[in-house]
């Protein structure tokens, strides 16, 4: 155990059968988190942070999450103000609906809106792209002008959460491929990235580190 590991923020990477969980876990460990790769409900609900990665089809990821009650875990954490980070399809399924190959699938409904096909000549959108992040972004602190690695054909292309006098507005980061789409969202305890930070070099590692360092410690 490295010095200071006992005080490192605890992060669970939800292991529900989707791909890239091991690379996400290794990246989070590299930026200072104490990481567990598990679908255990108690561990996922008591960790300082929960990461929900995802690759593949929207419908399959929703089904896999529900099979381990991941939807309930996410909902309960957010109800208690506990941080959650979605990555790639793990971001997409946070929206109300996903439309892929003519199939309209109900998402987890944490945010209103639809994930659908990008209106681009070349798909998938694969490779490095810049983002337009707000100046007060926590995730993109120090890397607002960097490039990040995307692999996707679908995305949320509108933000449907109305303005509120009670809650702070979400911090929205956009990118462009055949039109504007949401590259990241920071909305209270719920954050997500459409790109893969664990595959985005030093800039992506900084995004993960920024999130890990923002976690409120729940250690005794």
- Catalytic residues, by residue number, are 88, 196, 198
How many other CB atoms sit within 10 Å of the CB of residue 81? Answer: 10
Q: Is the distance from CB of 204 to CB of 148 less than 8 angstroms? A: yes
CA dihedral over 57, 186, 140, 159, signed as positive or negative = positive
Q: Tokens for 164, please give them.
A: 């509120």
């Amino acid at each position: 155990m490295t010095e200071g590991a006992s005080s490192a923020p605890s992060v669970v990477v939800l292991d529900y059968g989707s791909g890239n969980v091991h690379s996400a876990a290794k990246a989070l460990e590299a930026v200072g988190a104490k990481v567990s790769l598990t679908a255990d409900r108690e561990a996922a609900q008591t960790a300082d942070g929960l990461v929900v990665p995802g690759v593949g089809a929207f419908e399959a990821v929703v089904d896999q999450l529900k099979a381990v009650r991941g939807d309930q875990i996410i909902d309960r954490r957010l109800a208690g103000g506990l941080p959650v980070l979605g990555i790639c399809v793990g971001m997409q399924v946070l929206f109300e609906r996903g439309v892929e190959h003519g199939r309209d699938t109900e998402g987890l409904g944490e945010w209103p809106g639809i994930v659908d096909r990008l209106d681009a000549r070349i798909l998938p959108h694969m490779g490095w792209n810049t983002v337009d992040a707000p100046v007060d972004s926590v995730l993109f602190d120090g890397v607002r002008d960097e490039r990040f690695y995307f692999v996707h054909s679908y995305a949320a292309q509108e933000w449907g959460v109305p303005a509120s006098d009670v809650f702070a507005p979400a911090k929205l980061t956009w990118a462009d491929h055949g039109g504007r789409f949401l590259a990241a969202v920071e909305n209270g305890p719920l954050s997500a990235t459409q790109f893969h930070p664990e595959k985005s070099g030093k800039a992506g590692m900084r995004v993960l580190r920024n999130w890990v360092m923002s976690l409120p410690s729940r250690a005794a």
